[in-house]
Every structure is written in C-alpha cells, then in structure tokens.
Chains A and B, each alone.
Chain A
Amino acid sequence: MADYLNSYLFIGAILFTLGAFGVIVRRNIIVVLLSVELMLQGVNLSLGAFSTFYHDMGGYMLVLLSLAIAAAEAVVGLAILVALSRHVDEFYVDRLKSLRW
C-alpha cells in the first residue's frame, strides 16, 4: 500500500500546480475561479490519501471542511463577478487595474 500513496500525492500535486498555474496565467475571470477550485481539489485528494493510508479519520474531516469552504468561497466569488458584470464589458483580469499607482 505504501508505494501507492505516493501516486495519490503525486496526482494531488499535479492538480494543485495546474490550478496555481491557471490562477496566475489565465485572463478570463471565470477560468481563474475554476482554477482556484482545482487547487482546492488537489489538496483534498492529498488529504484523503493520507487519511486512508494512516487509517486516521482526521483527514476526511478536514476534507469535509475544505469542501464546505470551497463551496462558500465559490458562491462569494461568483457574487462579486455578478456585481462586477454591471460595470465592465469583458471579463479580462488584466483590464481591472484601477488600483494601479
């Protein structure tokens, strides 16, 4: 079982990295939000893998929490998006720079 743990962690890491990459690079706001979700899922996977491997329920507890938070945060992010849509025409992150120097 031990060597299988690394595979799960590996995948979790890939998910996380892809998510981070998306947050930094992609221009579309909705894609950025998706990427944030992806990051969270990668973390969840790693947590679940640890929990199973060490026979400790604590991991899955944290996963539950994390999912709830991910959902809430997605709601808030989309609410902000809706509010933003009233002021801009296109959802490109690099256009939103009024807090520039």
Chain B
Amino acid sequence: MSEAPWLIPLSPLIAFAINGILGPRYLRRATGVIGSLGILTSFLLTIGLWLDLPKEDSKREYILYRWLESGSLKIDIGFTLDELTVVMLLVVTGVSFLIHVYSNAYMEHDNSFARFFTWLPLFVFSMIMLVMANNFLSLFVFWEMVGVCSYFLIGFWHDRDSANNAAMKAFITNRVGDFGFAAGIFLIFWNFGTVNYSEVHASIGTITSGVATTIALLLFVGAMGKSAQFPLHIWLPDAMEGPTPVSALIHAATMVTAGIFMVARNIPIFEAAGISLIIIGGIGAFTALFAATIAVTQTDIKRVLAYSTVSQLGLMFLALGSGAYVAAIFHLATHAFFKALLFLGSGSVIHSMQNEQNMHEYGGLKSKLPWTYATYVIGGLALSAIFPLAGFWSKDEILAGAFFKGASSNGDVLFLLFWIMGLTASLLTAFYTFRMIHLTFHGMPRNRSLYDHAHESPWLMVLPLVLLAALSVAAGIGLGFPPEHGVIHDYLQHVVHSKHFELTGDSTIIISLAIISTAIALIGMMAASAIYQRGRPSPEAMGRLFPVLYTLSYKKYYVDEMVDILIIKSSKAAGFVLWAVDAKLVDGMVNLLGWTVKAFSSIGRRIQTGQVQNYVLIMATGLVVSLGIIMVMQ
C-alpha cells in the first residue's frame, strides 16, 4: 500500500464523480451504495497501509507529482506516510463508512438523495487528502475544500433560509480563521523557502523564537476557525441545520478535528514557540468550559451535542497545550466514536419523532427505541468519561497532562488553572449529557401523538450505532491502557511524542487524578438524575432559579449578538459612509467642475453677438493696437 497510497483518496473521488454525473437521473438509490462502497474501499486500503507502513525515512513521503515550481518554491502533491496519518485515516474512513451506511436509511425519503451522496464522498476525499498532505499548501487547499463541502452539506436543504444562512456563517467564520492560517503559511515560506513539512521541521532552529511564535499563533488562528474555538465557535451550533449524518461526520468526527491534527502534525513549530502552547492550552480550556456552560440549558438535542463537541475540542487543544500530544490524538479518536454515536443516535430519535428536535417534546422513549436507547446511554457514559469506557481513558489522560504541566517545576503553573477548568467542564459534561438522556428517554412522554408514532429505526441505522457503541466501550482500554504506555502511545511514539514534565508518569498521581475526575463525573451524573429523572422541570422553572446565569447560558452569552453589532453592523455602517463619500463628495466635485465651466462660458459667449459690425470693430481695434505697439517699439 505504500507503493500506491493515492488509491486511498481515489475511491471516494470516483464515487463522487459517478454519483455526481449519473446520480440524479439514473442511479438514485444506488448512489448510496456506491458512496458506501467507495469509503469501504478506502478503509480497507488504509488497513493495508497500516500493515505496510514503511520504516525508512526515505519511503515515508510519497510524491505523486510536482504541482508547481517557481524559483525556489517547489510544491508537490505528495503524501506523508507515517503513524499519525494512519491513525487519522483509520478514524476518518472507518467512521465515514459507518455514517454512509446509516445515511442510506436516514435519507431514504429525501428527494435529493443522490445529491447527498455526491457531496459526502467528496468531503471524505478532501479530508483524506488533508490528512495525507505533505506540505502546507496542499493542506490549505484541502482545508478549504472540506470547508466547501461543509457549506454544501449544511445548506443541503437549501429551500430553508436558516440552512442557507448557517452554511454561509460556517464558511465565512472558517474564512476568518483561514486568513490567519494563510498568513502563517506565507510567513513559513518567507522564512524557510519551502512549505514542505519535513523540510520546515528540520530547519526549525534557523528562525528566532519571535517569528516562530507569530507563525504558530497564526496557524492556530486557522485551527480555531476550523475546530470552532472561542470566538470562532459560532458556526458550529448553527451548522446543525444540516442533516444529522452530516453533523455526525463533519462536525463531530472529522472536519473539526482537522485543526487538532494540524497542530499535532507540526509540533516542532509549536514547541519552538513555547508561549504559543500556553495560549493554545488556555483557549482550549476556556472554550471547553464556556461551551459546556451553554450546553446545559439548550433544548434542541443537536445543539447540546454541538456545544459538547466545541467543549471536547477545547479539551483536545488543552491536551496539545499541555504537551500531551498523544492524549489529544487519542481523545480525537475516542471522541469521534462516541460523538458520532451520539449524533447518529439523536438522528434515530429525530427520525422516529418526525423531525422534532426539541427535547421538551420527548420523554419516555426508552421503551419505544430500545436499541437507540442502549447505544445512546453507552455513548453518554463514554462522553462523561465514566470508567471503563473509552472517554474515561482519553479525557483522563488530558486532564493528567494538564495537571503534570501545571504542577511540575519545569512546567507552567497556569496549567493548574486550566486543569481545574477542564475538571469543571467534565462535571458539566456529565450533567448535560444525562440531562439530555433523561429528558429524551426517561420520564413520561410529553407529546403523546409523536410518542405513539415513534418506532425503532431500521437495522441499517441501528447497526452503525451498535458498532460505534462497541468501539466506545473497547477503544479506551484497547488503545490507552496502561496510561502513557498503551497501544496508541507506542504506535505514535516516532511521530508524536508527548512532552515529559517532572511529574509525568507518576502513577500515584495518575490514580488519584483518575479518582478525582471519576468522582466529578459521577457527581454530575447524579445531579442530572436528581433533577431530571422523573419529571421535566420546564425551562422556565429552571430559569427562575438562576435567572441571570440561565439567560446568559441560554442566549449563548450573546456572542452572536455581539458579533452582529461589532462586526456586521459596523461594516455596514462603514460601507454606508464610504458610499456617501463616493456618491456625494466625489460626484459632487465632478459636478462642481462642470458647473464652473458653464458659468465661465456663459459670460464669455456674450462676445458672439452675431452682428458682423461688432466683429469688424474688434478686428479694426486689434489692428490699430498692434500697429501702435509696433510703432512704439521702433
């Protein structure tokens, strides 16, 4: 497989082409099968790559062809074949395949079925190319392409205004991040003369730490846009306008993880700029806590999951900032499993409740949707990081990493604060997760007519749920035990090795931290159960208890409103001012010019009387004057 790695992205691309060209007219239902098979092929080829991964450095980069060459700038379409690529590809293709299978049933009644299976494989293609890229420019091209596919898929139901607006919001917010990203890439080229990963990493010592910090922070701005960190998180909750499989794939498992992948891929750059890691960790911790506080009050089931994703991404960035790079990738993988599971499960619920997404219309669904319920609870336990499910191992490693950096003498004490923020976020995560589960599946059904019509989803939807649930249970222990020395750590150690602080690896600390975080999660779970298990406190009732906090949380801290005032309205106002200058001032001056000419000419033209005798007089006078001057000169 290392001989022809280009086959891996090729099969989804072919699926896209076939579905795009022939799909709507001729293939309809078959597009779903074609798409799924394309992704399955990629997955199997990735396993082939995994088994055949080259060890010598020279073989670990595969150049497909030289794209452009201009002076000293040489850019290829190339692939990096190393362990990090393999891990990411396994996650991406594996989860994508399950979601394709699921979508065959979920989108069954949709008129644009073929269009869905055109964009979805295109997205997987772009994501694969992004992950396999070997230089920054390639990365950037496919970074943008996944954004484009996200735009198409969020706005899939384009007859809805809200979907179109959400798609535009996602793309524009991404673009803001990409502006920083592009600036970082320019700086990289300016300083290194190349954009190739291996060459940049090798010569990282040749630049000052100031330049390295600027580059690192600019690259991180790009990651903030793509991975929805504050304040560029605003697009992700609105992106829930897209179909649920889209939310599961793009906004939980793959596209949003591109930012984390990019940072992990370029660890030498970020380590050369020590302060950038502190900033990354800080923003990650803040976003984790911030989003978790919003998720607590949301009523739309998909929004809860969206803010949860933002929060978990924050935790992954916290891991990166703490030097626990393997933990970040580990959590990326486990999160992909259980978050996709939760999204697909919520899709199952939404599907059976005839597209109702407000949790306050749910209730008591566990008897109607047993498989969905069981897998959903597993996903929820994994998200809340309850031992021994997958989330426990990865999240705990993140928090431990933050603690190690905070408490060690060669670390940074600020990370103790981040550790506490992460713990609080975990508490809230457990709380809102089980609030969601109780409101949806327990208690009495609140909308009788919807409840009566609810039924379990077809097996094509349930099977991926079961598989993802199995992964959510097993992946944690399988990959991450024992902590710091599990399968995934050993596998990634060449490419991504976590930073070692003074206290890293101390097993007593690890165990005590694990106990603390499990206790915190259990407290959150029990609080949610105590409040929500039986009945349903209405949002208004809960809101009356803590009015200010509730409003702040429910209204998402008014971030969207502030963006509207600070950026949108001020841009419009500036535009209006500029219009006024152009239309009134500039045009006015041109008009003034014309008026002046007219004024002068209206005076000057009076000499044209039309009477010949006047002309003769003037001529004669002129003649006399000239003769006089000549005679005087003599």
Q: How far is the CA of A97 from the CA of B609 in the complex (A)?
A: 7
Indicate whether A100 sits within 8 Å of B609 (C-beta atoms), given known contacts A20-B620, A24-B620.
yes
- Of all chain B residues, the one with the shortest Cβ separation from A99 is B610
Chain A stretch 42-94: residues in CB contact (< 8 A) with chain B: 93-94
Q: CB < 8 Å: which of A20, A25, A96 contacts B612?
A: A96
Interface pair A24/B616, CB less than 8 Å apart: yes
Interface pair B610/A93, CB less than 8 Å apart: no
Whether, in the assembled complex, B608 has its beta carbon less than 8 Å from a beta carbon of chain A, the answer is: yes
Whether, in the assembled complex, B617 has its beta carbon less than 8 Å from a beta carbon of chain A, the answer is: yes
Indicate whether A94 sits within 8 Å of B613 (C-beta atoms), given known contacts A100-B608, A101-B606.
yes
Distance from B225 Cβ to chain A, minimum over Cβ atoms (Å): 68
Whether, in the assembled complex, B355 has its beta carbon less than 8 Å from a beta carbon of chain A, the answer is: no
Q: How far is the CA of A20 from the CA of B613 in the complex (A)?
A: 11
Q: How far is the CA of A93 from the CA of B616 in the complex (A)?
A: 12
Whether, in the assembled complex, B206 has its beta carbon less than 8 Å from a beta carbon of chain A, the answer is: no
Q: How far is the CA of A32 from the CA of B148 in the complex (A)?
A: 89
List chain B residues, Cβ under 8 A from A101. Answer: 605-606, 608, 610
Interface centre among A24, A94, A97, A99 (most CB of B within 10 A): A24
Q: How far is the CA of A32 from the CA of B613 in the complex (A)?
A: 9
List chain A residues, Cβ under 8 A from B611. Answer: 93-94, 96-97
Chain A stretch 16-43: residues in CB contact (< 8 A) with chain B: 20, 23-25, 32
Q: How far is the CA of A101 from the CA of B614 in the complex (A)?
A: 14
Indicate whether A100 sits within 8 Å of B610 (C-beta atoms), given known contacts A20-B620, A24-B620.
yes
Q: How far is the CA of A100 from the CA of B611 in the complex (A)?
A: 8
List chain A residues, Cβ under 8 A from B617. Answer: 24
Chain B stretch 588-624: residues in CB contact (< 8 A) with chain A: 605-606, 608-613, 616-617, 620
Q: How far is the CA of A23 from the CA of B623 in the complex (A)?
A: 15
List chain B residues, Cβ under 8 A from A20. Answer: 620
Q: CB < 8 Å: which of B608, B609, B613 contacts A24?
A: B613
Interface centre among B609, B610, B617, B620 (most CB of A within 10 A): B610
Q: How far is the CA of A22 from the CA of B3 in the complex (A)?
A: 111
Q: How far is the CA of A32 from the CA of B611 in the complex (A)?
A: 13
Distance from A84 Cβ to chain B, minimum over Cβ atoms (Å): 12
- Of all chain A residues, the one with the shortest Cβ separation from B621 is A24
Interface centre among B605, B606, B613, B616 (most CB of A within 10 A): B613
Interface pair A93/B613, CB less than 8 Å apart: yes
Distance from B599 Cβ to chain A, minimum over Cβ atoms (Å): 15
Interface size on B, residues (CB 8 A): 11
List chain A residues, Cβ under 8 A from B609. Answer: 97, 100
Interface pair A93/B608, CB less than 8 Å apart: no
List chain B residues, Cβ under 8 A from A94. Answer: 611, 613
Indicate whether A23 sits within 8 Å of B616 (C-beta atoms), given known contacts A93-B611, A94-B611, A96-B611.
yes
List chain B residues, Cβ under 8 A from A100. Answer: 608-610
Q: How far is the CA of A96 from the CA of B614 in the complex (A)?
A: 12
Indicate whether A97 sits within 8 Å of B613 (C-beta atoms), given known contacts A20-B620, A24-B620.
no
Q: How far is the CA of A20 from the CA of B617 in the complex (A)?
A: 9
Distance from B585 Cβ to chain A, minimum over Cβ atoms (Å): 33
- Of all chain A residues, the one with the shortest Cβ separation from B612 is A93
| 0/1 string, A4-26, CB within 8 A of B gives 1 | 00000000000000001001110
Distance from A96 Cβ to chain B, minimum over Cβ atoms (Å): 7
Distance from B603 Cβ to chain A, minimum over Cβ atoms (Å): 11
Distance from A61 Cβ to chain B, minimum over Cβ atoms (Å): 25
Interface pair A98/B610, CB less than 8 Å apart: yes
Distance from A43 Cβ to chain B, minimum over Cβ atoms (Å): 14
- Of all chain A residues, the one with the shortest Cβ separation from B619 is A24
List chain A residues, Cβ under 8 A from B612. Answer: 93, 96
Distance from B607 Cβ to chain A, minimum over Cβ atoms (Å): 8
Distance from A97 Cβ to chain B, minimum over Cβ atoms (Å): 3
Q: How far is the CA of A16 from the CA of B608 in the complex (A)?
A: 27
Q: How far is the CA of A96 from the CA of B609 in the complex (A)?
A: 10
Chain B stretch 343-386: residues in CB contact (< 8 A) with chain A: none
Distance from B433 Cβ to chain A, minimum over Cβ atoms (Å): 90
Interface pair A97/B616, CB less than 8 Å apart: no
List chain B residues, Cβ under 8 A from A97. Answer: 609-611
Q: How far is the CA of A94 from the CA of B613 in the complex (A)?
A: 8
Distance from B600 Cβ to chain A, minimum over Cβ atoms (Å): 13
List chain A residues, Cβ under 8 A from B610. Answer: 96-101
Q: How far is the CA of A57 from the CA of B612 in the complex (A)?
A: 37
List chain B residues, Cβ under 8 A from A25. Answer: 613
27 contacts between A and B (CB under 8 A): A20-B620, A23-B613, A23-B616, A24-B613, A24-B616, A24-B617, A24-B620, A25-B613, A32-B613, A93-B611, A93-B612, A93-B613, A94-B613, A96-B610, A96-B611, A96-B612, A97-B609, A97-B610, A97-B611, A98-B610, A99-B608, A99-B610, A100-B608, A101-B605, A101-B606, A101-B608, A101-B610
Complex A-B, nearest 8 residue pairs according to Cβ-Cβ distance, in ascending order? A97-B610, A100-B610, A101-B605, A99-B610, A101-B608, A24-B617, A97-B611, A94-B611
Known: A97-B609, A101-B606. 6 other contacts (CB 8 A): A20-B620, A23-B613, A24-B620, A25-B613, A93-B612, A100-B609
